Amino acid sequence: MVSYKDLGLVNTKDLFAKAMAGKYAIPAYNFNNLEQLQAIVQACVETKSPVILQVSSGARKYANATLLRNMAKGATEYAKELGYDIPIVLHLDHGDSLALCKECIESGFSSVMIDGSHLPYEENVALTKQVVDFAHSQEHYVTVEGELGILAGIEDDVVAEHHTYTEPDEVEDFVKRTGVDSLAISIGTSHGATKFTPDQCTRNADGVLVPPELRFDILEEIEKRLPGFPIVLHGSSSVPMEYVRIIEQFGGKVPDAVGIPEEQLRRAAASAVCKINIDSDGRLAMTAMIRKVFAEQPSEFDPRKYLGPARDELKKLYMYKNQNVLGSAGKA
């Protein structure tokens, strides 16, 4: 049994309270390997931003759970070594069972998501409450994120064709009965680099897809029902066209690439949205740089020579997000 305090980590409680009051959002960046973690820590230390390190089930399968949590422990020491002690949360992304949440909590996670959004409402309440009861009864309070509403697209092998927007009438009951610390909602975002089908979008003069606006009306309704309660947005990559173009230029494909416009993410960050999840943008940044190195330096076969530039680009991107989109820079 390892407590997150021993790893130098914090839960989301205080971070969300400050983000709510200060009208910004905490970045939640996924990591699966060393280079992603280096980029995240470097970017957040240099911008003095708190950060949520997210580990998915897929990451645990890919990288090994023991390695990942020890990397997170290393991240807290690394941040100090870089010269600034930022608050770091280790968070389970899309936990799908009580057993998995318990395993993570007992191995040092400071926060977990229990994603019962695909279950019938009462089952979602029951499962989420079980996780909350366990998390909150630890010696050191572990925070829990629940979810209401289903994002369109792929999520943990579950494919939903359409958005099922969060029902504002349900949120008060859900939060009261489960005791969750934050709530992920569905207002039109989705996972991956193709967030809308072309027929849901219009095109601008350059032929670039312009997505429909997020349902800020639903978000506002939720804020009215849950004043001051931290809201989470998944699927919030903006899918920068510069990276899509580089990927295409060097032989890759990102069909129908379209993300959430930054302006809408800024608006969300200034609202009750306290946590914004970003993974796909980082994948695009790294892939763009790796493809470029492979194409321009075909004889290079030292992984550091292509993973290094990919890492540096990722750091640049996350610094930009903290400074210019989420507003978390300078808040650590």
Ligand X SMILES: O=C(CO)COP(=O)(O)O
Q: Point out the annotated binding site for Zn(2+).
A: 94, 115, 147, 191, 234
- Listed as own residue / partner, the contacts of 174-178 with beta carbons closer than 8 Å and 24 or more positions apart are 174/121, 174/124, 174/125, 174/128, 174/146, 174/148, 175/146, 175/226, 175/229, 177/125, 177/129, 178/125, 178/128, 178/129, 178/132, 178/146
Among residues 101, 31, 25, 26, which one has the least CA distance to residue 72?
31
Which residues is 275 bridged to in the sheet?
26, 232
Question: Of residues 22, 48, 58, 172, which one binds ligand G3H by CB under 6 A?
Answer: 58
Q: Which entry of 93, 181, 279, 281 is annotated as an active-site residue?
A: 93
Q: Which does 59 bind (CB under 5 to 8 A by kind): ligand G3H, ligand X, Zn ion, none?
A: ligand G3H
Q: How far is the CB of 61 from ligand G3H (least distance, A)?
A: 9
Q: Which residue is nearest to ligand G3H (CB)?
A: 58
Residue 59 lies near ligand G3H (rule: CB under 6 A): yes
Comparing CB distances to ligand X, the nearer of 234 and 331 is 234
Question: Quick count: other Cβ atoms within 10 Å of Cβ 54?
Answer: 25
Cα–Cα distance for residue pair 265/242, rounded to 1 Å: 18
Residue 147 lies near Zn ion (rule: CB under 5 A): yes
Q: Which does 117 bind (CB under 5 to 8 A by kind): ligand G3H, Zn ion, ligand X, none?
A: Zn ion
Cα–Cα distance for residue pair 131/56, rounded to 1 Å: 17
- Asked if 93 and 124 touch (Cβ cutoff 8 Å), the reply is no
Q: Strand 182-185 vs strand 153-155: parallel, antiparallel, or unpaired? A: unpaired
Comparing CB distances to ligand G3H, the nearer of 56 and 178 is 56
8-state DSSP, 137: T
Task: Enumerate the known binding-site residues.
Answer: 94, 115, 147, 191, 234
For 307, the token pair is 């993973």
For 96, the token pair is 């799908």
Count of residues near ligand X by CB under 6 A: 14
Residue 104 lies near ligand G3H (rule: CB under 6 A): no
Nearest-5° Cα angle at 148, 142 to 152: 120
Question: Of residues 87, 146, 149, 192, which one binds ligand X by CB under 6 A?
Answer: 192
Residue 145 lies near Zn ion (rule: CB under 5 A): no
Count of residues near Zn ion by CB under 5 A: 4
Question: Of residues 93, 145, 223, 313, which one binds ligand X by CB under 6 A?
Answer: 93
In the residue annotation, 302 being an active-site residue is answered as no
Q: 25-44: which residues touch ligand X (CB under 6 A)?
A: 30
Question: Of residues 30, 54, 76, 117, which one binds Zn ion by CB under 5 A?
Answer: 117
| Interacting residues toward ligand G3H by CB under 6 A | 30, 56, 58-59, 93-94, 191, 279
| Interacting residues toward ligand X by CB under 6 A | 30, 93-94, 191-192, 234-237, 277-281
